[in-house]
């Protein structure tokens, strides 16, 4: 039994009844007493009671008068789960104080049971806290990864938007190239017409005009091919952008949910600690 609590009980009983009280451990030494000067002293009768040599130690008023060192009183064992856990002694006429010491023994047993329950609860709370801490650490890791993924998704979204903008600029450039190709084709056609009109004198110019026209046609075909490719890329990038945005939202929600679980675990731990502290009071 807790020595502090035992001392409080001794003080309370003496204050309310005027009877002196001692509590003796299995080693026969007094560990709590109304008269604190007796704490640590060896008590022979209590030791014999605890060792089973006596069922109870009784000193009558007559015996006390015959031996000056003795005081009338009774010493009884406190038995819990079929074991003598301590001896309880009280001064006074044995038959008068017997009911008081009986009630005190019951209170001691109740306190021992309470201490056992608190110890058991402490062990279970320690196990639960350990597991909660492991879960919390695991959740924090998942939350960190989810947050990293969400951050990376934001970067991906930014890059995808940047790519879409660049594709738009490339399309504008291709339109300019197409326009130049069309004008070059017209110039080539006009040059061919002029070369044909002047006859033999325009043969050299006719060759150049034809090359300009071929280059214009080739540029047109190339730009059309590139334009189709860019359209496909644009569609793919926009699709990716939409999916990444959706995933980013989901991942952020998951990270928030995981953090919420972690906060709940902390609240549970605090609640368990409060329960234990209340039981100790």
Domain with CATH 1.10.287.950 in the chain: 127-280
pLDDT at position 63: 84
86 vs 115, higher pLDDT = 86
Find tokens 């990038």 and name the residue. 237
pLDDT at position 177: 62
Mean pLDDT of the chain: 76
> What's the CATH superfamily of 127-280?
Methyl-accepting chemotaxis protein (1.10.287.950)
The edge-to-edge listing of strands for the beta sheet with 83-91 is 30-33, 21-24, 83-91, 73-80, 57-59
99 vs 252, higher pLDDT = 99
The torsion region of residue 81 among left (phi > 0), alpha (psi -120 to 50) and beta comes to left
Note the helical H segments in the chain.
3-17, 44-51, 61-66, 94-198, 203-280
pLDDT at position 124: 75
pLDDT at position 62: 84
Buried b (16+ CB within 10 A) or exposed e, 215-236: ebeebbeebeeebeebeeebee
Angle between helix 94-198 and helix 3-17 axes, rounded to 10 deg: 140
Hey, what CATH topology would domain 3-92 get? Answer: Beta-Lactamase (3.30.450)
SS3 at position 54: coil
Interatomic CA distance for residues 234 and 244, integer angstroms:
15
pLDDT at position 67: 79
Q: Is the pLDDT of residue 46 over 80?
A: yes
Token pair of 274 as six digits: 């409060």
pTM for this model (two decimals): 0.54
| pLDDT tens for each residue of 30-44 | 999 999 999 999 999
Domain with CATH 3.30.450.20 in the chain: 3-92
| pLDDT tens for each residue of 154-180 | 666 676 666 666 666 666 666 666 666
pLDDT band for position 9 (cuts 50, 70, 90): very high
Alpha-carbon 194 to chain mean position = 87
Length of the chain: 281
Interatomic CA distance for residues 146 and 140, integer angstroms:
10
């Amino acid at each position: 039994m807790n020595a502090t609590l035992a001392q409080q009980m001794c003080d309370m009983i003496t204050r309310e009844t005027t009877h002196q009280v001692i509590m003796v451990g299995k080693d026969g030494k007094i560990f709590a007493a109304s008269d604190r000067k007796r704490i640590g002293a060896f008590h022979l009768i209590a030791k014999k009671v605890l060792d089973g040599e006596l069922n109870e130690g009784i000193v009558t008023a007559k015996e006390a008068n015959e031996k000056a060192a003795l005081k009338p009183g009774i010493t009884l064992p406190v038995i819990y789960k079929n074991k003598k856990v301590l001896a309880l002694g009280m001064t006074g006429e044995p038959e008068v104080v017997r009911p008081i010491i009986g009630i005190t023994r019951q209170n001691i047993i109740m306190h021992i049971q309470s201490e056992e329950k608190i110890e058991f609860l402490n062990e279970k709370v320690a196990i639960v806290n350990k597991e909660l801490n492991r879960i919390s650490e695991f959740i924090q890791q998942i939350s960190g990864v989810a947050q990293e993924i969400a951050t990376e998704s934001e970067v991906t979204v930014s890059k995808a938007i940047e790519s879409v903008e660049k594709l738009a600029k490339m399309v504008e450039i291709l339109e300019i190239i197409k326009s130049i190709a069309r004008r070059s084709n017209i110039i080539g056609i006009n040059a061919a017409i002029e070369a044909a009109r002047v006859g033999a004198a325009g043969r050299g110019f006719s060759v150049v005009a034809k090359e300009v026209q071929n280059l214009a046609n080739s540029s047109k075909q190339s730009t059309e091919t590139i334009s189709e490719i860019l359209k496909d890329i644009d569609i793919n990038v926009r699709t990716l952008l939409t999916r990444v945005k959706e995933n980013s939202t989901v991942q952020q929600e998951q990270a928030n949910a995981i953090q919420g679980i972690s906060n709940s675990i902390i609240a549970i731990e605090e609640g368990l600690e409060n329960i234990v502290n209340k039981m100790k009071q």
